[in-house]
A = this chain, B = another copy of it.
Amino acid sequence: MASDNAAGAHPDIVQALVRANADHALAYGQDVYTEQARQLFNDLFGRQVRTEFVYGGTGANVLALACMLKPADSVVCTEMAHIAVDEAGAPERILGAKLQTRPSPDAKLTPQDILDVVHLRGNIHHAQPAVVSITQATELGTLYSAGEVREICAVAHQHGLLVHMDGARLANAAAALGASPQALRSFTVDAGVDVLSFGGTKAGLVFGEAVVFFNTGLGDRVENIRKQITQLHSKMRFISAQYIELLRTDLFFKLGGQANAMALALYEKTRHHESLGLHAPPAVNSLFPTIQPRAAQALQDWAFFWDWDAPNHKYRWMTAWDVKSQDIDTFAEAVSQALKI
């Protein structure tokens, strides 16, 4: 339950990677795998998009934002955003840009958050809000509905801001919101998102993420910038081939759904422990129980998971695509044991 990064890669994806090793291929994305993977992204979103592959999730976010920002711009996001909290200051160092963070109890940004900062635009003393970045599914395991994303994009665009979506857990969101290309489009491109970090690693890949430009003009310099921020893989076919496998069937939606289902199962099997404070089923693949120190320690020693809000004894249980019902039963039993300590 430590992280969706603790899972390995799906066997089909690994096999696709192995198959891609058959022959020489031109480096840096001039290969047939990359061409085919890009076409699958076009198909998935039902239009011509610009898709570029990178190594990792922080790299995807930084690359997307680097293509969207001008000097003295800032990024509006919640104070829980991965870019603001969990990337060790990568955006500030590599983008040289301020993150204008907004308080948010549920890790979701609201249109009002945008309205609250647009007055900074035009004032030379302030960094200029220029990009809104939202995370789907959020860092707290909540979801934006398609309507909510649409409203955020509308307000942002109305005031001249662009919208980036950090989709490190896009598979979980897509599975929860309809598990179809149509559903995925409804809260991304159809809602007005300009650039999307399309998560691969947490969705079952060995490595590799994609940055999808719906607003294709923003990608004019993306290849130069990708190299400049250290995210160009020379043997790119090995990323592309994994994405082909993920997208040519319904694997993307299936793996996201499996992780979600296991989180729900864990919720069902542990919600009766009132002390955990699990009052609502998870929207995607994480639970945030409250556990007293001794019990938490015992449980973590047995199977590691992360602290979330240490002072308040909050922890995070996160299910990956490879968790099985049996795992949930075993873990729930361990929880029951630990809570007796």
Contacts and interface: CB of A to CB of B under 8 A. Distances in A.
A62 B103 CA distance: 26
A72 B55 CA distance: 19
A55 B55 contact: yes
A206 B234 CA distance: 10
Given A21-B14, A93-B97, A97-B89, A58 B230 contact: yes
A235 B124 contact: no
Nearest to A7: B24
B90 A93 contact: no
Contacts of A74: 89
Contacts of A57: 234
Contact of A89 (B20, B98, B103): B98
Nearest to A239: B207
Identify the interface centre among A74, A231, A310: most chain B CB within 10 Å of its CB: A231
A230 B229 contact: yes
A35 interface: no
Q: Chain A interface mostly helix, strand, loop or mixed?
A: loop
A266 to B, nearest CB: 16
A322 B7 CA distance: 32
Contact of A72 (B22, B124, B225, B233): B225
25 contacts: A5-B235, A9-B238, A17-B17, A55-B231, A56-B232, A71-B93, A71-B224, A71-B225, A72-B88, A72-B221, A72-B224, A72-B225, A74-B89, A87-B125, A88-B228, A89-B96, A92-B92, A92-B97, A116-B311, A125-B227, A128-B224, A201-B235, A207-B233, A207-B235, A229-B230
Interface of A: 2-3, 5-9, 11, 14, 17-18, 20-28, 55-59, 62, 66, 70-74, 85-90, 92-99, 101, 103, 116, 119, 124-128, 201, 206-207, 221, 223-235, 238, 304, 310-311, 320, 322
